[in-house]
Amino acid sequence: MLRLATCLVAASLVVGGVHHASAQATDTKPSRMKLTVQKLKEMKAKWLANRPKLRACRAEVKAKGLAGDDRWFYIADCMERS
């Protein structure tokens, strides 16, 4: 009985893991891939050259309530605007 229960738990974990991995593969967008720490540091160093504009972009992000990667992508778009 214990062996059967163990097999069922293991099988459900495998099936759940496969489903989760396939869902992640289809949800990724090439333009919105996860940012690496190094990439974030490079972006921030570039933005610090124009502090007033960065300050304005951060204020927009705070007003919109963005967080995580969405925050960084919004700041990147904002900093590229003229």
Q: How many CB atoms lie within 10 A of CB 57?
A: 20
What pLDDT was estimated at residue 74?
92
What pLDDT was estimated at residue 22?
46
The answer to whether 81 touches 54, Cβ cutoff 8 Å, is no
Number of domains in the chain: 2
Q: Are 50 and 70 in the same domain?
A: yes
What pLDDT was estimated at residue 65?
95
What pLDDT was estimated at residue 53?
92
Q: Tens digit of pLDDT for each residue in 18-74?
A: 444 445 555 545 455 667 888 878 888 888 888 999 999 999 999 999 998 889 889
Domain housing 67? 34-82
What pLDDT was estimated at residue 30?
46
Q: Are 24 and 50 in the same domain?
A: no
Q: Are 39 and 70 in the same domain?
A: yes
pTM for the complete prediction? Answer: 0.50
Dist CA 52 CA 65 (whole Å): 20
The answer to whether 76 touches 50, Cβ cutoff 8 Å, is no
The Cα-based distances of 11 to 2, 21, 22, 25 in angstroms read: 14, 15, 17, 21
Q: Are 62 and 41 in the same domain?
A: yes
As a whole number of Å, the CA-based R_g of the chain is 21
Q: Are 68 and 44 in the same domain?
A: yes
